[in-house]
Amino acid sequence: MNETQRFLGDKTTWAQAAARLDDVQPLWGGRRVWVTGRGEVTVQVVAPGGHERQVGLLIHPAGWAALVQQFIDQDFLTISPAERPGRPDEARPMLTLTNPAGAQYSLSKWAGVPAPRFDVLYRAFLALAEQALAAGA
In a domain, 74, yes or no: yes
Count of the separate structural domains present in the chain? 1
What is the DSSP secondary structure assignment for residue 39, as one 8-state letter? S
Q: Supply the CATH number for residue 56's domain.
A: 3.30.1560
* Per-residue pLDDT, 133: 92
For range 70-89, the mean pLDDT:
94
Q: For the whole model, what pTM was predicted? A: 0.94
E strands in 47-116: 52-58, 94-98, 104-108
- What is the per-residue pLDDT across 104-118, written as a single tens digit (0 to 9) for each? 999 999 999 999 999
How far apart, in Å, are the Cα atoms of 14 and each of 30, 46, 48, 52? 28, 29, 35, 30
In a domain, 86, yes or no: no
Q: Is the pLDDT of residue 54 over 60?
A: yes
Among 106, 132, 123, 119, smallest CA distance to 43 is for 132
Q: Is the pLDDT of residue 137 over 70?
A: no
Structural domain of residue 100, as residue ranges? 3-81+91-136
